Amino acid sequence: MGIKTIRITDFPIHSQFVECWSPRAFTLDAIDEHALLTILEAARWAPSSYNSQPWRFVYARRETDQWVSFLSFLNEFNRSWAVRAAAIVVILSKQTFRLPGRVEEFSLPTHSFDAGVAWAFLALQASLLGWGAHALAGINRDLIRSDLSIPDDFSIEVCVALGQSGDAALLPHFLQAKEVPSNRRPLVDMAGEGRFVDGT
């Protein structure tokens, strides 16, 4: 997966962080289940509050029986390009957890945060294996809940489109110019020692 713009960091960091981005132009290459599970395995090793591991994953690969229904989970814009993805993963999080040795469920205020860390691990592992991972908040959560019979105590966080990144020309015309890794605001605009900074 070639990087088409240069990302310059404020401090030197491992290249995996800047090489990971969110492509939309997918090549139609298929992903085998072993590769997909390897990517989810990295997500499994994310840290979480109380080691509660509230994330859950439901996935479908292109050309399987479930594919069309997983595509229907995406809004029209996301579907217009994710139709070429190799797989769609729904990320869910459990809002409660059980302490070891206890039977009752406790509220887990960090369930979404924890699932976000799992998403980051997933995206980094995908990128390291040469796959592009693109998170999608533009989804129909009511449809996902009913179609997949998701219990009420689980939040539907995002979907992720996975695929091999290809040429921008594979995209609908209006998206082609956007097919570049984006930049970031400077660190000094968001990190302050002993004081709040918000350099927006």
Ligand X SMILES: Cc1cc2nc3c(=O)[nH]c(=O)nc-3n(C[C@H](O)[C@H](O)[C@H](O)COP(=O)(O)O)c2cc1C
Number of residues that bind ligand X (CB under 6 A): 11
- The token pair at 45 is 């090793």
Least CB distance from residue 133 to ligand X, whole Å?
9
Helix axes 33-44, 111-128, angle to 10 degrees: 130
Q: Applying CB under 6 A, does 190 fall inside the site for ligand X?
A: no
- The token pair at 80 is 């217009």
Q: Applying CB under 6 A, does 21 fall inside the site for ligand X?
A: yes
Among 3, 22, 112, 148, binds ligand X (CB under 6 A): 22
Among 137, 187, 188, 190, binds ligand X (CB under 6 A): 137
Among 53, 78, 93, 127, binds ligand X (CB under 6 A): 78
Return d(Cα 156, Cα 180) in angstroms, integer.
28
- The token pair at 35 is 């590769």
Stretch near ligand X under the rule CB under 6 A, chosen from 42-50, 124-132, 134-142, 190-198: 134-142
Q: Applying CB under 6 A, does 29 fall inside the site for ligand X?
A: no
Task: Give me the 165-184 binding string for ligand X, x by CB under 6 A, dash otherwise.
Answer: ----------------xx--
Among 31, 40, 43, 136, binds ligand X (CB under 6 A): 136
The dihedrals phi and psi of 133, each to the nearest 5 degrees, come to -120, 130
Residues 6+ apart with CB under 8 A from 89: 36, 40, 57, 58, 59, 122, 159, 160, 162
* CA 125 and chain centroid, separation: 11
Binding region for ligand X (CB under 6 A): 21-22, 78, 134-138, 158, 181-182
